[in-house]
Copies of this chain bind each other. A is one copy, B any other.
Amino acid sequence: MSYARQMLESDSASTVDAGLLADTIEALSDCAQACIADADADLRENDPDMVTCIRLCLDCTDVCTATLGIVSRRAAYQDAVTGPLLEACAATCARCAEECERHADSHAHCMICGQACRRCEQACRNLLAAPIS
């Protein structure tokens, strides 16, 4: 069990389902890591066709890292802040996934990164749709 999950389960104050939050936090963290690694692997291909993929991976790392911070400060769950950022994060993950998928047949690193982005996009949408008690 991850530290994030343990910490959420030790906490009775959260206004959102702890399992759903932990899933989102893990998806954001995995996606940020996958995008850092994919940008680096793309760089090594020395292929001008990879430039858009590198930039979108760097963008996606930045947005997922920020969203991870904000979602983790869950005790003060603020709709005005969390809602628009989850929307922006889902949009960025979707755009990055689309670009990674274009290269998935040629590069295993892009295929893996595209999967991490799709899972993160879905996790952001699930949290947006979750009831807040």
Contact = CB atoms under 8 A, between A and B. Distances in A.
A100 to B, nearest CB: 12
A106 interface: no
Copies of this chain present: 4
Given A7-B38, A40-B55, A55-B75, 5 more contacts: A8-B37, A58-B69, A65-B65, A80-B91, A81-B92
29 contacts: A3-B37, A3-B112, A3-B113, A7-B34, A7-B109, A7-B113, A8-B37, A10-B109, A33-B72, A39-B58, A40-B73, A40-B74, A40-B75, A41-B75, A43-B54, A43-B75, A46-B51, A55-B73, A55-B76, A55-B78, A58-B73, A65-B65, A65-B66, A80-B94, A81-B88, A81-B91, A81-B92, A81-B95, A88-B88
Interface of A: 2-4, 6-8, 10-11, 13, 25, 29-34, 36-41, 43-44, 46, 48, 51-52, 54-56, 58-59, 61-63, 65-66, 68-70, 72-76, 78, 80-81, 84-85, 87-88, 91-92, 94-95, 108-109, 112-113, 115-116
